[in-house]
Amino acid sequence: MRVDELIANRSRPLFSVELWPPRSPAAEARLEAALAGLSRLEVDFASITYGAGGSTREHTHELVIRLRRDYGLLPVAHLVTAAHTQADLEAILERYTRQGIENLLALRGDPPLEASCALAPGEFNHAIDLARLASRKYSMCVGVAAHPEGHPEAPDFEADMDRLAEKLEVADYAITQFFYTADRYARLRDALAKRGVDKPVLPGIMAPTSLSTLRRMAELSGTSIPAKVAARLERFEGDPAGFQAEGTQIAIELCSELLAMGVEGLHVFTMNQAATTVAIHEALFGSRGA
């Protein structure tokens, strides 16, 4: 099944998640616990991240295959152009194609949170080049990234929307970076409509679990943290359980607004933890979906 087919044939808003490939036994245990929790939900697809410069290349591939084989989940493999040659990318795409994987999220790639410098460039300079390769040569269903507030490296929002419109001429859908006010999503959707683009754009949802991590991720992604959101979270600094509950509630309120706007689905960045994702799903759809 392809993600574009899922979106086109949906009878309810889709609910999808992002997972990370584990790099240690402890991370493996956390992932297994997350998968056990997520099995309670109706998850339409799971995207699997790809480490900076290919640092999780094998782990990503193994998790993509295992999710389909062992959990019956539809996997979407992330792939980045940074630090890769075209031959590298073709080898990865050929391997996926041989194993029946037909969904890809094409990205340029960003350094990890702890990095202080940019990744080495790849032979392809932009995600659109990878999207063309995957869709035209390998007939894959391709998603791309969207930034509701504009990419941090773009000169302005309108220029970034021009680039996103170009990507969506090639790709089948987009998933946004996280954001915290529904009007940001509405502005992005309206900007694409003005450019004649009607491809689906799934909003990316992240329930904050740490104020320091949120601020660092917001800085890297060009996402603003609304003053009201920051104030709500700051009340619970030093209270992890209270912070998680408040962050989850913020995400639920945003999702409710987005569903009222008629979004095709919600894509939750799980951080490989099931509790907040389960809480979001149950608040919106119940324990087994709509």
HSE-CB for 82 with a 13 A CA cutoff: 17
Cα–Cα dist 256/216, whole Å? 26
Give, in degrees to the nearest 5, the angle at Cα 202 between 201 and 208.
135
SS3 state of residue 174: strand
Q: What is the largest CA-CA distance in the chain?
A: 52
In 3D space, the residue among 24, 129, 13 whose CA is nearest the CA of residue 82 turns out to be: 129
Q: Which pair of structure tokens corresponds to residue 156?
A: 């302005």
SS3 state of residue 124: coil
In 3D space, the residue among 103, 108, 265 whose CA is nearest the CA of residue 200 turns out to be: 265
18 part of the active site: yes
- Torsion sign across C-alpha atoms 178, 181, 187, 189: positive
Rounded to an integer, what is the distance from CA 34 to the centroid of its chain? Answer: 17
> Which position among 5, 18, 62, 246 bears the catalytic label?
18
SS3 state of residue 189: helix
Cα–Cα dist 103/67, whole Å? 13
In 3D space, the residue among 93, 75, 158 whose CA is nearest the CA of residue 131 turns out to be: 93
Gyration radius of the chain over CA positions: 18
Q: Which pair of structure tokens corresponds to residue 53?
A: 């410069």
Catalytic center residues: 18
